[in-house]
A = this chain, B = another copy of it.
């Protein structure tokens, strides 16, 4: 028969620390601590599969589980010589949740279970502490009533506060045993009234009810939300730990506390924590009384303090990680209630990892797994100077890390205008894709609506720009152009500061401190990462400034330079538009030749500008490869919007104005209409542009090679990689490659110098991945464009479908937004297939990724699995990608069974 219940106690446990799947984190820890001979109150753990069976069994615990529980209970009672409900030696237990992954405070706990009208009297008699006995009983009724019988807390609090008022006392501890007796009587009435039945006096009934309540709490809304945010599967279920109660509220030699083996904020190796004497655990957490720093325990109970320090230091060595522990002192005796790996800030995580290696506790490869890649964000962005006073006026969600100071603007257009004179912070109820130009110029974003995955949050994280999102306190009035936060009114042009790492909104200009990403610990840590990883890391950068940032952050090349960003510059757009105005259809060869001549004339104006761009980029990346993608977006993006033109013309005509302007607009509209597409994403873009208008590719190739030759002559080492986008068939690539090669030879001849270069392609259509073997016969490298590949694989537009994606993630149709986290099942499958078949055709094929996913740790793992050579991401995510790549490599080695030491 399957084992559902695991006993721990008497120096030995049925389970052990590696059984987190079955016992949950807490249960595994209790078993491990018990086996290690630590003072753990004995008890038993009901495994996570029991929780799943409970739900499958229509919210009924199957009888075999109940039977095993009864057996364990009997063993516990025998061990302690106590019994639940016994009139002589009553046993009291706690009933706690404990999932595989820590979900602090998200599920339910019941303490003091076993109390009833009889037991409380025995307890009072035995301990000689009447007040303690009745307080324990009333706490139990309150907790059981709320957690198990689902009666709102406020109902109990009302009674309790009433009693305090009646007695004219301030502190809970000022109530006498008799006062508490009265409270208990009233509590029972609350239960009867609210639940429609009496508070159960039978401790066995209490236990069964409490166990099932903990099972049920797996699906309470806050647990579900937590799991969604932390990407924890709903299918896991929680274990239930039933453990002998120890009491921190048994008088002045009792107490309870929590602690960390190192400072979770800074990482400093200091015994860290806090405690309360004469209190139970929830008093520490609830913040009703102010706890005392743990150091002071040394004064109060030096022996206990040293025992605790010794035990937790041992635990840290045992688990090779910072421990977050809970303890209780009952009448001078220390009990360990829980230990787990402690959560910590980014800087702390890096410091701890590095110091543990220095202490010989960890091998560098193990240390790499101790830092979440995303945590590095906190080391890469400026932070507020906390030594100066800050006027915090509101708090929102810490949506994108870093701090920013700027003048408030309320529209994207205003951001562009004002952004030229001073840094601006864009404030919106919510941002939309249309705001992107404003978001680009703003130094920070503040929104009053939207969560951690709202448009503002996602886009700013990509930009490495601070964002405070969903700041509900701030009433954003876009019409009046002001924010109202309580009594404060912030008007357009006023200075504010944001802290995207904590969600704080600060009035006025705060001082910023640039973090030093090259501090000793960080540099050491990243060196290990670079040694461990197999994947290269490049950056997506279009301009020298971004390229230099990327290089500083450790990028080993440019994986994607989007040439279209250069086309939008003010001095270029007119030439681009002139070219597009000549992209007309005609059957007449003479007319066609005329249009082509006109396009070539416009492109000739762009050539020197593009050459200069590329020169700067090559120079910034001296010695490293630079991948340049030929023009990708639909041409209409460079023209005014169709509907706006239509409206403008209609208005002019309605006013009966026959001006040259009307005629000019109509001519423009004609071109825009000619380019209009119902689904531009699936239209004339990517290599299709270069095939329909080869002179565009020609100009770009010329600019690339002229710049490369000029660089090489100046001693700058260049490795251009020309990348053709949106290829679906090898013949498209052939046609474009032919142009690139021809122009290269022309330029080399003219400049009398030869530059080594590659021609490759994006793999961003299923068709490309599915014919990768053919394409690799022409392509010298592949770069997976997973944004478009995700769009086409799922047939979903990321620009249009935020609402659907949110709904899908919420409804668990998708585990995550596939544009944020690479879908391994379908998109990842295409990547694996494409890489494999590409390499079969060309064994040395270089394969990378340049979609947004290139900076996402989970996605990087998929890339490592698919056997890619490198990932490419935005400059600010380069260190994150380096660490994620290292972790992927270390995990792979571990799976293969290599030792990490």
Residue ranges of A at the interface with B (Cβ–Cβ < 8 Å): 472, 585, 587, 642-643, 646-647, 650-651, 653-655, 677-684, 686, 688, 691-692, 726, 728-729, 731-732, 735, 764-767, 770-771, 774, 788, 791-797, 799-801, 803-804, 807-808, 811-814, 823, 825-827, 829-830
Complex: A678 Cα to B682 Cα, angstroms: 11
- For A728, the closest partner residue in chain B by CB is B794
Min CB–CB distance A678 → chain B (angstroms): 5
Question: A771, B811: Cβ atoms under 8 Å?
Answer: no
Give Cα A275–Cα B735 distance, bound, in whole angstroms.
50
Q: Residues of B contacting A587 with CB < 8 Å?
A: 472
Contact residues in B for A799 (Cβ distance below 8 Å): 678-679
Contact A683-B801, Cβ < 8 Å, known A691-B807, A771-B825, A826-B771: yes
Cβ B646 vs Cβ A826 within 8 A: no
Q: Please give, as numbers and ranges, the residues of chain B lying within 8 Å of A655 by CB-CB distance.
A: 654
Task: Give the residues in chain B near A807, CB-CB below 8 Å.
Answer: 691-692
Chain B contacts of A770 at CB under 8 A? 793, 825-826, 829-830
> Which of B643, B692, B797 is in CB contact (< 8 Å) with A677?
B797
A731 contacts B813, C-beta separation under 8 Å: yes
Instruction: State the number of copies, please.
Output: 2
Whether B826 contacts A791 by the Cβ 8 Å rule is no
Which of A647, A732, A811 has the most B CB atoms < 10 Å from its CB?
A647
A587 → B minimal CB distance (Å): 7
- Residues of chain B within 8 A of A814, CB atoms compared: 729, 731
Docked Cα-Cα span, A827 to B767, in Å, equals 8
What are the residues of chain B within 8 A of A732 when measuring CB–CB? 813
Which B residues lie within 8 Å of A791 (CB)?
682
- Kindly list the 6 A-B residue pairs having the minimum CB-CB distance in the complex, ordered from nearest: A682-B797, A654-B654, A677-B800, A766-B766, A643-B643, A679-B797
Complex-state Cα separation, A655 to B791, whole angstroms: 43
A794 to B653, CA, bound (A): 42
Q: Complex Cα distance A653/B654, Å? A: 9
In the complex, the chain B residue whose C-beta lies closest to that of A686 is B795
Known: A691-B807, A788-B795. 9 other contacts (CB 8 A): A677-B797, A680-B800, A681-B681, A683-B800, A692-B807, A766-B795, A767-B795, A770-B829, A770-B830
Contact status A801-B651, CB under 8 Å: no
Cβ–Cβ < 8 Å partners of A803 in chain B = 585, 684, 692
A794 CB to nearest B CB, Å: 5
> Are A681 and B679 within 8 A (Cβ)?
yes
Cross-interface CB contact of A792 among B651, B793, B804, cutoff 8 Å = B793
Bound CA–CA A655/B652 (angstroms): 11
Whether the pair B813, A794 counts as a contact (CB closer than 8 A) is no
B794 touches A691 (CB 8 A): no
Docked CA distance A681–B770 (Å) = 22
Chain B residues positioned under 8 Å from A796 (CB to CB): 682-683, 728
Q: Which of B651, B684, B811 contacts A735 (CB 8 A)?
A: B811
Return chain B residues, CB-CB under 8 Å to A726: 795
Considering the chains assembled together, what is the distance between the CA atoms of A732 and B682 in angstroms? 24
Hey, which chain B residues are within 8 Å of A766, CB to CB? 766, 792-793, 795, 826, 830
26 residue pairs bridging A and B, Cβ less than 8 Å apart: A643-B646, A647-B650, A651-B654, A677-B797, A678-B680, A679-B800, A681-B795, A682-B682, A682-B797, A682-B800, A683-B800, A683-B804, A691-B808, A692-B803, A692-B807, A729-B814, A731-B811, A764-B795, A765-B794, A767-B793, A770-B793, A770-B826, A770-B829, A771-B826, A788-B795, A792-B792
When chains A and B are docked, how far (Å) is the Cα of A691 from the Cα of B803? 12
Q: Which residue among A472, A646, A770, A812 has the maximum number of chain B CB atoms within 10 Å of its CB?
A: A770
Q: Decide yes or no: A800 and B647 within 8 Å by CB, A766-B793, A795-B792, A807-B691 being known contacts.
A: no
The contact of A682 among B651, B731, B801, by CB within 8 Å, is B801
Chain B residues positioned under 8 Å from A688 (CB to CB): 804
Query: For residue A691, which residues in chain B have a CB less than 8 angstroms away from its CB?
Result: 807-808, 811, 813
Most buried by B among A681, A766, A771: A766
Hey, which chain B residues are within 8 Å of A765, CB to CB? 793-795
How far does the Cβ of A717 sit from chain B's closest Cβ, in whole Å? 36
Q: Identify which of B647, B682, B729, B767 contacts A679 (C-beta below 8 A).
A: B682
CB proximity of A687 to chain B, nearest CB, Å: 10
CB distance from A666 to the nearest CB of B (A): 13
Which B residues are CB-close (under 8 A) to A653? Answer: 651
Q: Chain B residues near A808: list those with CB within 8 A.
A: 691
Q: For residue A677, which residues in chain B have a CB less than 8 angstroms away from its CB?
A: 797, 800
**Could you tell me the distance in whole angstroms from the C-beta of A428 to the nearest C-beta in chain B?**
16
A650 to B682, CA, bound (A): 31
Q: Give the CA-CA distance A885 to B653 in the complex, in Å.
A: 58
CB distance from A441 to the nearest CB of B (A): 22
For the complex, give the distance between the alpha carbons of A797 and B647 in Å: 27
Neighbouring B residues of A792 by C-beta, 8 Å: 766, 792-793, 795
Max chain B C-beta neighbours (<10 A), residue from A686, A691, A808, A813: A813
**Chain B's nearest CB lies how many Å from the CB of A228?**
15
**Which residue among A767, A800, A813, A823 has the maximum number of chain B CB atoms within 10 Å of its CB?**
A767
Are B800's CB and A678's CB within 8 A? yes
Q: Which residues of B contact A827 (CB under 8 A)?
A: 767
Q: Which of A587, A642, A728 has the most CB of B within 10 A?
A: A728
Q: Shortest Cβ distance from A610 into chain B, in angstroms?
A: 25
* A887, chain B: closest CB distance, angstroms: 27
Contact A650 B654 (CB under 8 A): yes
Return the contact of A650 from the options B650, B681, B729 (Cβ within 8 A).
B650
Q: Tell me the nearest residue of chain B to A807, going by C-beta.
A: B692
Closest to A643 in B: B643
- Contacts of A767 on B, CB cut-off 8 Å? 793-795, 823, 826-827
- Of A731, A735, A800, A812, the most chain B CB neighbours within 10 A belong to A800
Q: In the complex, A225→B647 CA distance in Å?
A: 45
CB-based nearest B residue for A799: B678
Among candidates B647, B764, B774, residue contacting A646 with C-beta atoms closer than 8 Å: B647
Contacts of A764 in B (CB 8 A): 795
**Shortest distance from the beta carbon of A454 to any chain B beta carbon, whole Å:** 12
Contact of A795 among B682, B692, B800, B801 (CB under 8 A): B682
Smallest CB-CB separation from A788: which chain B residue? B795
Chain B nearest Cβ from A424, distance in angstroms: 27
- Of all chain B residues, the one with the shortest Cβ separation from A654 is B654
Give the distance in Å from the alpha carbon of A653 to the alpha carbon of B688 in the complex: 41
Which chain B residue shows the least CB distance to A650?
B647
Q: Are A735 and B813 in contact (CB-based, < 8 A)?
A: yes
A70 to chain B, nearest CB (A): 38
Whole-angstrom distance between the alpha carbons of A225 and B124 in the complex? 104
The CA of A585 and the CA of B814, in the complex, are separated in Å by 21
Give, as a whole number of angstroms, the nearest-CB distance from A521 to chain B: 43
Q: Which of B472, B643, B684 contacts A642 (CB 8 A)?
A: B643
What are the residues of chain B within 8 A of A643 when measuring CB–CB? 642-643, 646-647
Complex Cα gap A131–B792 (Å): 73
CA A692 – CA B802 in complex, angstroms?
13
How many angstroms from the CA of A726 to the CA of B765 in the assembled complex?
A: 18
A830–B770 Cα distance when bound, in Å, is: 8
Within the assembled complex, what's the spacing in Å between the Cα atoms of A793 and B587? 31
Q: How far is the CB of A631 from chain B (nearest CB, A)?
A: 15
In the complex, what residues of B have CB within 8 A of residue A650's CB?
A: 647, 650-651, 654
Docked CA distance A354–B129 (Å)? 109
Chain B residue contacts of A647, Cβ below 8 A: 643, 646-647, 650
Q: Which residues of B contact A681 (CB under 8 A)?
A: 678-679, 681-682, 795
A764–B726 alpha-carbon span in the complex (Å)? 20
What residues of chain B lie closer than 8 Å to A683, measured between beta carbons?
796-797, 800-801, 804
Report the Cα distance A340→B639, complex, angstroms: 58
Measured between C-beta atoms, what is the minimum distance from A130 to chain B in Å?
Answer: 49
Bound CA span A677–B807, Å: 17
- How many Å from the CB of A641 to the closest CB on chain B? 9
Give the shortest distance, in Å, between A501 (CB) and chain B (any CB). Answer: 24
Q: Which residue on B lies nearest to A683, using beta carbons?
A: B800
